Structure formats: C-alpha cells, structure tokens
Structure 1
Amino acid sequence: MALEDAFADFTRRDWERESAAGTVRLAVVGIGGFARQRALPAIDAGAYCETTTLVTSSPDRATDVAETYDVDAVVDYDAFLAGDRADAYDAVYVATPNATHGRYAIAAADHGKHVICEKPLETTVDRAREIVDACADAGVTLMTAYRLQTEPTVRRTRELVRERAIGDVVQIHGGFSNPLLETAGPDTWRLDPALAGGGALVDLGIYPLNTVRFLLDREPTGVYATTHSSGGPFAAVDEHVAVQLEFGTDATASCTASFDAHASSRLELVGTDGKVHIESPFGGVVPQEMVVESGDVCMEYTGPSVDEVCEEFDYFGYCVLTGTTPEPDGADGLADLRVIEAAYESAETGCRVGLE
C-alpha cells in the first residue's frame, strides 16, 4: 500500500456505502456532563440522528436543555421504564453510570427500540450478556459506543495494518491518563466500584484496549495486569493500571491508564517494517495528526479536527436506517469485559490469566 493512498481523502466515511434517508429519533437517557457537553451537540450537528426525548431524574431542571435542542418529550426514569412517550423515539442512547446500563438498555429493547450504549456495556460479562440477549430477542440494533472505531485516524491505521504497510505488528503501546479530581469531586460515581465496575481501567483503559483489538482484528490470548491506588478518594478503585496483552501472533500490546496524572493520550504501533504514531487519539476531538514510517519512507499527516462523537452517532443512525450491523456491537462490548475481568483477576493474583 502506497502511503499516499492512506492519506488521500483521509476523513472519508468508508462505512457510508449506500444512501440513507431520514433520521433516527433518539431518547437520551441520562443528561450528565458528557451528554450535555459532547453527545447532545454532536447529535444536533450530525445527519442521521436527532434528539426527541430526554430522560432525567429531574425533568423540571432540564428545561434549558430541552429548549436548546428543541426537545418536546422530557420524562423521568420511572416513566421511561414504563414506556411513557415511547412513540416519540426510535432508539435510545444510554449515558447513565455503568451499573445501570442494563436496566435502561433492556427496557428499551423490550419497547422495541434500538440501543446505543456507553462503554463498558455493563459492569460484568454476565450483566452485559443480558443486554445482548434482550436486543437479539427483540430484533433491535445494539451498538456499544466505541467512538474510536468511527474516527478517521484509527480507521486509516487499520487499513495500514491490513495492507501490511508496516509489516507484521509486533508492539502496540497505548495510554490514556486524566486528572479526574480536577473536573469531578471525590464523590463521583466513577470512584464507586458498585456503580462503575472498576476504576481507571474501566473508564480510561478501555479506550486503548478496544482500539488495539479493533486494529489487530484479533482477540487476546492472555493478559497480565497490575494496579495501584494511593488511597483517599481512590481507595476503592484502581487509580493507575498497566495491562499487557498477548495475541496469537508475535504481537503484544501494552495499555496503561491513570485517574491521577497529567492529561495525555498516545497510541503507537511498531511493525517489522515501520511504525504508526497517532497524536492524542483518546481525547474526544482527535487532532488528526499521525506519522507513518514504512521502510525508508516517512510521511506525516495533519488535517482538520474531527468530532468522533458526531461520527459515532451518524454511524449508529446510518446502521439503523440501512439495517447494517454495527462493528462495535454487543459482542464487541462483551469481549472487552472478558479482558477487563481477566485483567483484574491478574492484578489480584499476580499471575498471567489465559483467555480462550
């Protein structure tokens, strides 16, 4: 593969293979910080989804959000579970704390609605499988919200890997850190293992973990992990985590995450004939900066920023409208949770954990 080809029409939506008419009406379940700051604006800016319903614990305090996005239906969680105003939406976006994903995703499926659910899909493999089964039984689309899989830089990197532009991938290094307490108080649900299902690995480490699996198109065969917490607000969860993944090839991957470090993200793939470096891949609005070395050739690409959240919702809407199964489906969400559970087992036992 010529490197010039990799950078040509860089931001193309290769998943947009046919025309799609109309929009998918979304109920946004949970309008916390991410939903207000990122998801709702992205849906509004996109082509294939529109917000028609808000689900919140305090409908009276959501009038400003409803007015901003011209949303007529605002209901509380109990009303949503009962199916009130279900005629106002076609699909739901679940953006509540992790341990509540199943409750709302399964209710949506029971009402015959498609589901896009934040990651991780749930807090355990068994609970996530209930979501997958409910959506399958209802015949509705289920997408785990892995927005990196819809982001151009990552998709172009997967093409480079598939075309062996850097030879056989031998090493992948991915890291994501964020000083959580600078933006959230110590009582945030992300530090409550009962609600979050874990700490830095579940909230941040899942980004490099899922991206590695996506790029290699392989499942890990083994995992070794270590975690560390300094106590205080982080006493109940992993504050820092390092995960080593093995695959059924020569490739290994190192994924790190931290709740208490300078904001940073990085991703690098090293192959037998070259490497790919992506600048700040996990930050939300990816700067579209990457460097590719292939043999004696080195090329750098810098393009306009792409809002991967907008890409994600347009991809979901397109899949629903065209009857296409999304790549980050329920099985993808289950696969990550299997690795996460194995990583926590490894951290507790100090031993490598094999994965079938």
Structure 2
Amino acid sequence: MPETVDSFTERDWQGTTEGTLRLALVGLGWWTIDEAIPAIRDTDLCEATVLVSRSREKAERFADEADVPHAISGAEYHDGEASDEYDAVYVATPNAYHLEYVETAADLGKAVLCEKPMEASVERADRMVEAADDGGIPLMVAYRMHTEPAVRRARELVQSGAIGEPVQVYGNNSQSLLSIIDDPDQWRLDPDATGYGTSMMDLGIYPINTTRFVLDSDPVSVQAQMASTHDAFADVPDERSTATAVYDDGVHAAFTATQNAYEDTELTITGTEGQLTLSPAFHMECALSLETGDREFSASADDVNEMTEEFDYFADRVLSGEPIYADGEHGRYDMRVLEALHESAASGTTVTLD
C-alpha cells in the first residue's frame, strides 16, 4: 500500500519541453470558446493559430475576440486554405461531422485531436481510423480524464494492489442539458448529429472509458436499458440510461447516465481489500479518495486544468513522435461499446463484443 495518495506525479507522461504545436480549431461551439481556447493559452507547447467554422464571419468574430490570427470557413479548410498556418487540428464539431474534417486533415498531413465520442457510428469511426492510417498522421481521441492527475493516481493505486483485486465498478454521469443550453433543437438531441443517442454517447462514455483506463481492461459484454419521457428527448432513445458491463479481467460494472437530471459525477471501484472513489469525477473537477480496512485518504489536484493537460499531452506526443494514447483504435472500441449498448437496449439481450 502506498503511504499516501495526496500527492501527484507532475506530468509523468512528458517527453519534451521544447517546441510549439500550432493548432487549427474546428467547430466553434461553447466548448471550444469557453474551455478549449482559454486552456490552450495556458499550455506550454500549443498555440491556437486558426479558427474554423461553417461561417467565415463567425470564425472571424471569435478570432478577433480571442486574438487568434487566422479565421476561415469549413469550405476553405477543406480547400487547404491557411494550411501553412497550423500543424495539427482539434475537431470539436457535432459527432456526425468529425469524419470529414479528419479526412481533410489526413490529406493535408496534419495531426488530429478529435473530441469524443469519435464519430456518430462504428462505420464512420472505422473510416476515420482508415483515413488517419492512409495519411500517416497521428490521431488522438480527446479523453481528457487520461491526463487528469487524480485519475492517473487512481490507476497507479489500483495497479499497485492498493484495493486488492478489483471486483466491481459503479459510475454515474448526469446533467441537465436543457439548463445548459435552453434549446430543444440543439444537436445533442438530433440523432442525425449525435449518433446512437445522447446520454450514453455524451456522458456515459466517461465512466465506461475511465474504467478502461484505470483498470487497463476492456468491456467484453454489455447490457442496457434506456428510456425517453421528456418531449425534448423524443427523437433520441436514452434520456435515461442504465448499463452493465463485464470487463475482460472479470470485473463487473454498472453505469448510469442522463442528460435530464441534477448534475452528479462519480466513479467507484471496489476491490477485495478496499475501495477507490472519484467524486466529483467528470465535469472538469476530480477528487480522489481511498479506503481500506485501516486507512483512509483523500486528495485532489485543484490547480490543474484538464484541457490544458490534454492539449499539452497531445502536443508532447506529436512533437516527440512518441505513441499516442488514446489513439483511433482505442476510440473505435468505445464506439463498438456504445453501439452494443444501444443494440442491447433495443433487443433486451446481452451483447458480446468479439
């Protein structure tokens, strides 16, 4: 048992402190404007040099506000305009539009950081991985929990045997989407834009994938139940969703996710000798606690911006040429899990991932 969990290794992944990765930011929704651009300003290795939106006017307006030197439309991006002004692309459009921007980046030889989930379907995720491979570009899926110090410490503790053998996991991610964006016509409620659904695709993926990272294990069978009762969620199947999963190391997990409830995030891993909890876990705050028969610890890295860590990790890997985690294959597996969960909810059966 480690003596303490209240300290974190600073950037144990870092391989370089030299160089700058110039980024084109594609998709100028609230996440890019309010979270990504401020985070990039605080990085050591990144600079936002180009903004891309379907409307050049919108791109220019935000570029002026954020002091980003270049602004282009999506059509101009696909035509290769300003391609000498950036080295890599951050894609933060609605899910169903990720692929086209990654394909263009691959044609231009630009590295890609693509928001999760990586696309709207497994088939389109397959095409994205193929495009990146054909273009010989690095492709990273933006799971920011992987560079969150508390999550990395949780992984170390579990793998060191601090809670004994992991047995079961519970995770929840909930928020009130209509309180965040008061518009029932938003893209997360449009199946043509979001993909299989909204709650598991956007929220449930956090506990599912963070469990993969902490345990170093993948789901091999899943079962789910889903329902939508609110009028705004009529076109998506999972206003409310519950899933169970068995991971390849035999750990059993239960996950809940909803876009229409009080905000709550949690991940608890119970082992034969103790229990580890991340709470809050997934909404830009993360605190770690660990309990065994004779010890209790708690800690958080309050001064860390998860997005800044993620962007610097991506830049570090691209500049140093080191392997990326999570790469396209990792993100594609999550897409298969999401597809299986929705298949299970529709059929009422357990779905096995081959």
Give the counterpart of 1:191 among 189, 192, 215.
189
**Counterpart secondary structure, 1:50:** strand
Gaps of 5+ in 2: none
Matched, 1:260 2:260: yes
Q: Which residue of 1 aligns with 2:135?
A: 138
**Counterpart secondary structure, 2:331:** helix
Cα distance in 2, alignment partners of residues 305 and 278 from structure 1: 17
Report the Cα offset of residue 321 of structure 1.
Answer: 0.5
Structure 1 residues 153-192: Cα deviation after superposition (integer angstroms, max 9, x where no partner): 1100001111111001111111010100112110000000
**Counterpart secondary structure, 2:262:** coil
Q: Which residue of 1 aligns with 2:169?
A: 172
Matched, 1:239 2:239: yes
Cα distance in 2, alignment partners of residues 58 and 34 from structure 1: 17
Report the Cα offset of residue 352 of structure 1.
Answer: 0.6
TM normalised by structure 2 equals 0.96
Q: Which residue of 1 aligns with 2:334?
A: 336
Q: Is the 1:120–1:333 Cα contact (8 Å) retained in structure 2?
A: yes
Q: Is the 1:167–1:271 Cα contact (8 Å) retained in structure 2?
A: yes
**Counterpart secondary structure, 2:283:** coil
Report the Cα offset of residue 11 of structure 1.
Answer: 5.1
Cα distance in 2, alignment partners of residues 302 and 88 from structure 1: 38
Report the Cα offset of residue 69 of structure 1.
Answer: 3.3
Cα distance in 1, alignment partners of residues 274 and 140 from structure 2: 33
Greater shift after overlay, 256-265 or 294-303? 294-303
Q: Which residue of 2 aligns with 1:206?
A: 205
Report the Cα offset of residue 303 of structure 1.
Answer: 4.1
Give the counterpart of 1:30 among 27, 48, 61.
27
Q: Is the 1:3–1:299 Cα contact (8 Å) retained in structure 2?
A: no
Q: Which residue of 2 aligns with 1:290?
A: 288
Q: How does 1:270-281 map to 2 (within 5 A)?
A: 270-281=270-281
Cα pair distance change 1:302/1:76, threshold 3 Å: closer
Cα distance in 2, alignment partners of residues 141 and 265 from structure 1: 31
TM normalised by structure 1 equals 0.96
Cα distance in 2, alignment partners of residues 82 and 23 from structure 1: 25
Matched, 1:114 2:103: no
Q: Is the 1:166–1:275 Cα contact (8 Å) retained in structure 2?
A: yes
Q: Which residue of 1 aligns with 2:313?
A: 315
**Counterpart secondary structure, 2:318:** helix
Report the Cα offset of residue 294 of structure 1.
Answer: 2.9
Cα distance in 1, alignment partners of residues 84 and 251 from structure 2: 49
Give the counterpart of 2:148 among 151, 167, 188.
151
**Counterpart secondary structure, 2:219:** coil
Cα distance in 2, alignment partners of residues 241 and 160 from structure 1: 30
Cα pair distance change 1:305/1:281, threshold 3 Å: farther
Cα distance in 2, alignment partners of residues 2 and 293 from structure 1: 12
Cα distance in 2, alignment partners of residues 11 and 106 from structure 1: 36
Q: How does 1:42-53 map to 2 (within 5 A)?
A: 42-53=39-50
Cα distance in 1, alignment partners of residues 233 and 150 from structure 2: 33
Cα pair distance change 1:302/1:146, threshold 3 Å: closer
Gaps of 5+ in 1: none
Q: Which amino acid aligns with 2:266?
A: R
Q: Is the 2:173–2:256 Cα contact (8 Å) retained in structure 1?
A: yes
Q: Is the 1:51–1:69 Cα contact (8 Å) retained in structure 2?
A: no
Report the Cα offset of residue 311 of structure 1.
Answer: 0.7
- How many pairs were matched up? 351
Q: Is the 2:147–2:306 Cα contact (8 Å) retained in structure 1?
A: yes
Q: Is the 1:24–1:321 Cα contact (8 Å) retained in structure 2?
A: yes
Q: Which residue of 1 aligns with 2:76?
A: 79
Q: Is the 1:115–1:140 Cα contact (8 Å) retained in structure 2?
A: yes
Cα distance in 1, alignment partners of residues 227 and 312 from structure 2: 38
Identity within the alignment, %: 43
Greater shift after overlay, 183-192 or 129-138? 129-138
Structure 1 residues 325-346: Cα deviation after superposition (integer angstroms, max 9, x where no partner): 2111101110101101110010
**Counterpart secondary structure, 2:217:** coil
Structure 1 residues 86-128: Cα deviation after superposition (integer angstroms, max 9, x where no partner): 0110000001010000000111111100000011111111211
Q: Which amino acid aligns with 2:255?
A: C
Cα distance in 2, alignment partners of residues 303 and 132 from structure 1: 34
Q: Is the 2:59–2:73 Cα contact (8 Å) retained in structure 1?
A: no
Q: Is the 1:43–1:313 Cα contact (8 Å) retained in structure 2?
A: yes
Cα distance in 1, alignment partners of residues 154 and 38 from structure 2: 27
Greater shift after overlay, 63-72 or 212-221? 63-72
Cα distance in 2, alignment partners of residues 195 and 304 from structure 1: 34
Q: Which residue of 2 aligns with 1:216?
A: 215
